[in-house]
Amino acid sequence: MTILDNSSEKQAALFPKGDNNAEPAGARDTQTATGRGRQGSTPPAPNNILDRFFQITRRGSTVAREFRGGLVTFFTMAYIVILNPLILGGFSADNAPTDVAGGWLSAAQVGAVTGLTAGVMTILFGLIANLPFGLAAGLGINSFLAVSVIQEVTWAEAMGLVVINGILIVLFGVTGARTAIFRAVPKELKAAITVGIGLFIAFIGFVDSGFVRPTAGGPPVQLGDGGSITSVPTLVFVVGLLAMGILVARKVQGGLLIGIVGTTVLAAVVEAFMKIGPASATNPGGWHLNTPVLSGQLVSAPDLGLVGQFDLFGSFARIGGLAATMLVFTLVFTNFFDAMGTMTGLAKSAGVAHKDGTFPRLKSAFIVEGFGAVAGGATSGSSNTVYIDSAAGIGEGARTGLASVVTGVLFLGSMFLTPLTSVVPLEVAAAALVVVGAMMMAQIREIKFTKFTVALPAFLTIVTMPLSYSIANGIGVGFVSWAIIGAASGKAKKIHPLMWVVSAGFLVYFARGPINALLGG
């Protein structure tokens, strides 16, 4: 997700130097990005246990504002309860991503565990880290699992890798290694990774909607069918994309969710009149994944059958230790940089960041976020991470973990609405993916393309992901090219030793096929 860039010297002055876990000096200045609060005023003393626990008054907020902010954050994030099942699951093996053994995940079950994990982790984050950040299944990692990882392992084994990824992130947070690694990677490369993932997600959306199709000859892909949009579902995708884009551009709270719901209603009306039906060999212009028809009950008890359905070390036996390790490596890096950048941006937006970019309860936030990855893998809903969409709640005045608790409770309630996922066609979900990809592209502003030693590695990182259909390949090409080009340009001393270690690991990753052959694998 994109990183907000609205810090200022005034915000930096809010905080004393020293312990990163210190709370902001709210008595000196409670002004925030939204302009609430008054400089030089002394906040009144906390008047209830809720206020004292979350330090609401100290941060220049109120209980009512925290509840409102938590509500807004939920509505801006709620689309993930519908979108995640469409990415990871389906309603049969014919319309779901299948693994190497032909296994697939039920969309209804994925929807239930998506709400469950997001609810529990967001509540824990609010109680422990006391920050107004919502957590849910991360876009990018779920696409990586559905498109790449399950081509090599089963779904249970893939979720085992996600759990291992989360355990490593927790250890990095506990030991302080997370901060050290984060500082070792140049900020331009971090930004390029986020941009590349955004472009990759958008490309998936274009392909899934039929807006871009492969060709039998000539260029690898083309627009629609022979350069024209001939499918009604693809036209619905275009309408949905424009509608969601307008809502987001106008900063409508919950714009993505409103867009998904509205476009789904449009799709249902179109289907009711035109009887398009599902896509097939004889009906290539039909709906993909789901046919938008309202039938049966839309509210039901959540099916949590996926909880605990993961195989921790099965992937190592199936594809070998080297290949499995590199998949974990990719998951860690994808999770790692996105979450840290997002939390930094949100902390600045909320006015709770220190001058050096750290924020109160930094270590606690990193550890809980790491456990989000563990919980996401353990429930088969994919790694849970902090969402930049939380900025909407912060914009409404949320400053403490109470807002996160409110958001989490609402996510738990969303588990009972998972049958709605069977109504949303893939073309609608694809429009949301493109919009999210566009949001992530905003990080490109952090890259100095005027310096070619920066421009080429960043460019290679960005374009390799969609062109090779792999996040891992993009990250690896970026790291290796950054180290080699930088060293050859006389800047070897500026390249952190950890960059060389990571680059060497990726070189092994890219050569894993010949290496396995030499080793008899």
The DSSP bridge partners found for residue 137 are 384
- Per-residue pLDDT band at 189 (split at 50, 70, 90): confident
Q: How much is the pLDDT for 411?
A: 94
Structure tokens at 278: 């599902």
Q: Given pLDDT bands bounded at 50, 70 and 90, which one contains residue 106? A: very high
Percent of the chain with pLDDT over 70: 83
Average pLDDT of span 30-47: 47
Q: Output the pLDDT for position 37.
A: 41
Return the top range by mean pLDDT from 87-91, 118-122, 438-442: 118-122
Q: How confident is the model at residue 498 (pLDDT cuts 50, 70, 90)?
A: confident
For the cut 50, the answer to whether the pLDDT of residue 442 exceeds it is yes
226-254 residues labelled b (16+ CB within 10 A) or e (exposed)? eeeeebbbbbbbebbbebbbebbeeebbb
Query: pLDDT at position 358, please?
Result: 66
- The label of the residue with tokens 């260029």 reads 219
Reply yes or no on whether the pLDDT at 3 is more than 70. no
Q: Which of 101-110, 151-160, 298-307, 388-397 has the lowest mean pLDDT?
A: 388-397
6/131 Cα distance (integer angstroms):
18
CB 233 within 8 A of CB 222: no
Kindly give, in sequence order, each residue whose CB lies less than 8 Å from that of residue 367, ignoring residues fewer than 6 positions away: 170, 173, 174
473 exposed, middle or buried (CB, 10 Å; 0-12, 13-18, 19+)? buried
Nearest to 386 by CA among 349, 429, 351: 349
CA 421, CA 437: separation in Å to the nearest integer?
A: 21
pLDDT-based confidence at residue 226 (cuts at 50, 70, 90): low
pLDDT at 46: 64
Distance from C-alpha of 387 to C-alpha of 412, rounded to nearest angstrom: 17
Q: What is the pLDDT of residues 39-79, one digit of tens each?
A: 445 555 666 888 889 989 888 888 888 988 888 788 768 87
- 14 within 8 A of 28, measured Cβ to Cβ: yes
Q: How far apart are CA 311 and CA 313, in angstroms?
A: 6
pLDDT interval class at 4 (50, 70, 90): very low
Do residues 61 and 400 make contact, with C-beta atoms less than 8 angstroms apart?
yes
The percent of residues in the chain predicted with pLDDT above 90, rounded, is 27
Read off the tokens for 301.
Answer: 């008890």
Q: Look at residue 256 in the predicted model and tell me its pLDDT.
A: 75
Token reading at 448: 């100095």
Q: Match 């997700």 to its residue by tokens.
A: 1
Residue 105 bridge partners (DSSP):
89
Residue 122 is given by DSSP the state H
Q: Are 437 and 198 in contact (CB under 8 A)?
A: yes
Rounded CA-CA distance 168/172 in Å is 6
Contact 152, 101 (CB under 8 A): no
Binning pLDDT at 50, 70 and 90, where does residue 224 land?
Answer: low
Write down the pLDDT at residue 215.
72
- The maximal CA–CA distance of the chain, rounded, in angstroms, is 72
Q: Which residues contact residue 265 at a Cβ distance below 8 angstroms, ignoring those fewer than 6 apart? A: none
Q: What Cα–Cα distance (Å) separates residue 169 from each residue in 330, 363, 448, 512?
A: 12, 12, 29, 25
Q: Which residue carries 């990250």 as its tokens?
A: 475
CA gap 370, 385 in Å, rounded: 8
**pLDDT confidence of residue 6:** 36
